[in-house]
Amino acid sequence: ADEGMWLPYLLGQQVYNDMVKKGLKLTKEQLYSINKASLKDAIIIFGGGCTGEIVSSQGLIFTNHHCGYDAIASASSVANNYLKDGFYARSKQEEISAGKLSVQFLVRVEDVTKQVTDTLKDLNGQERLSQQQAVFNNIVSQAVAGTNYEGRILPMFRGNQYLLFIYERYKDIRLVAAPPESVGKFGGDTDNWEWPRHTGDFSVFRVYADKDNKPAEYAADNVPLKPKYFLPVSIKGVKENDYAMIFGYPGGTNRYESSYGVKLKTDVENPAIVGLRDVRLKLMFEQMKKDPATKLKLASSYAGIANYWKFFDGETKQLLKYHVLEDKQQQEADFEKWAQGKAEYQNIFKDYAQAYKDWSPYTKHRIYINEGILGSPLTAFAASLQALEKALTQPGTPADVIQKSLQAADKARSAFLQEEDKRSDQLIMAATCHKFYTDIPQAQHPIGFYDGVKAKFGSLDDDNTYRLWSTAIMNGTIILNDSKWKDFIAHPDAVTLQTDPAFAYASAFIKNYAGKYLPLYNQFMLKNNDLGRTYLKGVMEKEPAKKWYPDANFSMRLTYGQVKSYSPRDAISYDYVCTMKGVMEKYKPGDYEFDLPEKYMDLYKKKDFGQYKDLKRNDMVVCFITTNDITGGNSGSPVLNGTGELIGLAFDGNYEALSHKIQFDQVYNRTICVDIRYVLWCLDKLGGATNIISELKLMK
């Protein structure tokens, strides 16, 4: 298979020749150019953690349904439920503003390693971090001076190289189309992270600009963006072994994680996260089942929690199955042999051992704060009020600073209330507080907190105690009481805030953590960074001829591979495509995850597939798999053939390779893509959105 998340701007020096050998028909300049329009100009950061691509001369965007999910849910109401029923704008007037959603175009990349390291030299730890921030700010502000661009510097190879990325951000984004959730999320969490998969995971948006084609805040008279470049769309279909490449924004990998890190992950971190998410998901789901309004409120947050609940569980299983720990230990032993007598390198793993020994007793505590205590939305919001508390209690805080802090809190509260479901939140609060009591060593509990609960509400081993306690918080807090909150904003005083039961609860846990354990965590992270940087420097020095690619860090990458079937287990082989026949096999009327719209069934019965039909199979191809190297963040990325035409959208990885963040598996790793012909069929036949089809440049 095809490991490697390559930096497009370095392709010429690295893998371009190999890409050509495997089937690429484009020049380097057509893929990535600084002066001329090139393929990279069609690739965007979509929102905060996805990829999208421009597919028409009028700024049309394709991305995944799960990437547009939050925007689709926010645009929906129980009466106009676009999440449930789908949405197709018949004209530009019908497109719906996607609110805060923005997209970013990559303008250029610059290697700033020399500038950064001239200042940082061999600094380590906190000193390095502080200096680094200053240098970064300096370089970025010079680079973007006099423009509307944004710059971000990312350490590559754990800080052995530094790259500056310059972006242009567009803020007027509108929803153009989405299939019904039953199609866009067909198979739900049951099928998530698995092949065979039958999901139409796509949605359509549009970038708007001002009259000069420049970024602007939403305005009714903004016009569709005229992009530098857009992708042609191929409806020729895919064959086994076809060349496939994916441009996009993989969010994070950690392929040089130490064996110590792998062990802590599988032993402690992942099981803790999964256990806590399990609790929260069940409590949310119970309420979501009950009524559509609650479902809409919680849908987006639920999907996000569920996605990585399944991921972390699968990741642990695959890391163990493939003996990744033992592989790492072997690599580290080899490294240590090489490092003998090299002062810079020979003690790295002794130092790793010590750093992990120091931190591991508190790892679970940290996760129980972030995924447990703060897994209650009310508690998380209450915790965010600490900035306000500080403003109110610090002597000499200027009145306008206090006013600003109050306004910010008031605005954040409105946003919080939009998605707040009190019933599930109250139970989550109770369950996570109980779980913290049971699972975290008593010596680490906030002093006096649980005694207080016991004195007022009963035995700390009894679920009911925590239910009573959380009910009291819900009833007593000003956060959930409009008139009391208004009063507080009008006449703010620290005592009202500090004695508020929700705030006091959040504070007790946060202050305990921040006072005693966060400093240890920071120390650990700094040490880990320094060791990782040195280790990777040594690893590259040890094999100077090898072509290296940096870990994913949400910068633009390219991966190339092939359309390919695989065998997950003995005697089983998986085809490289799946079809609508399989959608029908999975169909369960009325089911939460496997239902389908009536119209879909009708079209299938009539075999009304139009020009999107796969002739070989006399059916619609729904999804296909490739050997590409992607991870979360790549969602929505274009899958392109050798001539740079769009053949699909990447939306997932397969279960057998969920260890991919730590180690790429050459045999099992697959990317799951929705076939572009299915996307177009859903728009055209299911949605009747011929207006969108006619905007595209179809290659037949």
Backbone torsions φ then ψ of 554, nearest 5 degrees: 60, 40
Q: Write down the catalytic residue from 102, 300, 635, 637.
A: 635
The reply on whether position 53 binds ligand ARG by CB under 6 A is no
66 is catalytic: yes
| Shortest separation between residue 593's beta carbon and ligand ARG, angstroms | 8
Q: DSSP for 175-215?
A: EEEE--HHHHTTTHHHHTT-SS------EEEEEEE-TTS--
CA-based max dimension of the chain = 76
Question: Which of the residues 123 through 162 are near ligand ARG (CB under 6 A)?
Answer: none
Contact 652, 681 (CB under 8 A): no
| Shortest separation between residue 310's beta carbon and ligand ARG, angstroms | 8
Q: At CB < 8 A and 24+ separation, what contacts does 81-85 make?
A: 81/292, 81/296, 82/175, 82/178, 83/178, 83/181, 83/296, 83/299, 84/180, 84/181, 84/182, 84/292, 85/180, 85/597
C-beta of 432 vs 635, nearer to ligand ARG = 635
635 is catalytic: yes
| Shortest separation between residue 401's beta carbon and ligand ARG, angstroms | 40
Q: Cα 121 vs. chain centroid, distance in angstroms?
A: 33
| Binding segment (CB under 6 A) for ligand ARG, from list 185-193, 371-379, 395-403, 454-462 | 185-193
C-beta of 149 vs 186, nearer to ligand ARG = 186
The reply on whether position 596 binds ligand ARG by CB under 6 A is no
Q: Which residue in 3, 150, 189, 336 binds ligand ARG (CB under 6 A)?
A: 189
- Alpha carbons 636 and 649: distance in angstroms, whole number: 6
The reply on whether position 49 binds ligand ARG by CB under 6 A is no
The reply on whether position 182 binds ligand ARG by CB under 6 A is no
Q: Write down the catalytic residue from 41, 56, 65, 66.
A: 66
C-beta of 512 vs 669, nearer to ligand ARG = 669
| Shortest separation between residue 649's beta carbon and ligand ARG, angstroms | 11
Give how far Cα 364 sits from Cα of 367, 368, 511, 604, 632, Å: 5, 6, 17, 50, 24
Backbone torsions φ then ψ of 543, nearest 5 degrees: -130, 75
10 Å CB burial of residue 666 (0-12, 13-18, 19+) is exposed
Q: Which residue in 188, 476, 568, 597 binds ligand ARG (CB under 6 A)?
A: 188
- Alpha carbons 258 and 663: distance in angstroms, whole number: 11
| Binding segment (CB under 6 A) for ligand ARG, from list 84-92, 187-195, 235-243, 639-647 | 187-195
Q: Which residue in 84, 185, 265, 366 binds ligand ARG (CB under 6 A)?
A: 185
**Residue that the structure tokens 């019904």 belong to:** 180
The reply on whether position 586 binds ligand ARG by CB under 6 A is no
| Binding segment (CB under 6 A) for ligand ARG, from list 184-192, 424-432, 450-458, 487-495 | 184-192
Using DSSP's 3-state secondary structure scheme, residue 90 falls into coil
Using DSSP's 3-state secondary structure scheme, residue 574 falls into strand
| Shortest separation between residue 632's beta carbon and ligand ARG, angstroms | 5
| Binding segment (CB under 6 A) for ligand ARG, from list 148-156, 188-196, 274-282, 498-506 | 188-196
Q: DSSP for 237-292?
A: ---TT-EEEEEE------TT--HHHHHHIIIIIHHHHHHHHHHHHHHHHHHHHH-H
- Alpha carbons 685 and 666: distance in angstroms, whole number: 38
| Shortest separation between residue 82's beta carbon and ligand ARG, angstroms | 17
The reply on whether position 477 binds ligand ARG by CB under 6 A is no
C-beta of 215 vs 632, nearer to ligand ARG = 632
The reply on whether position 652 binds ligand ARG by CB under 6 A is yes
The reply on whether position 630 binds ligand ARG by CB under 6 A is no
Q: Which residue in 46, 60, 66, 371 binds ligand ARG (CB under 6 A)?
A: 66
Q: How do strand 638-640 and strand 243-248 relate by DSSP bridges?
A: antiparallel
Using DSSP's 3-state secondary structure scheme, residue 589 falls into coil
Q: How do strand 621-626 and strand 671-675 relate by DSSP bridges?
A: antiparallel
Contacts with ligand ARG, 281-310, as mask; x by CB under 6 A:
----------------------x--xx---
Q: Cα 314 vs. chain centroid, distance in angstroms?
A: 17
Q: Which residue in 635, 641, 659, 669 binds ligand ARG (CB under 6 A)?
A: 635
- Alpha carbons 27 and 97: distance in angstroms, whole number: 37
C-beta of 218 vs 592, nearer to ligand ARG = 592
602 is catalytic: no
- Alpha carbons 520 and 533: distance in angstroms, whole number: 20
| Residues that bind ligand ARG in the complex, under the rule CB under 6 A | 66, 185, 188-189, 192-193, 303, 306-307, 632, 635, 651-652
Q: Which residues are catalytic?
A: 66, 201, 635
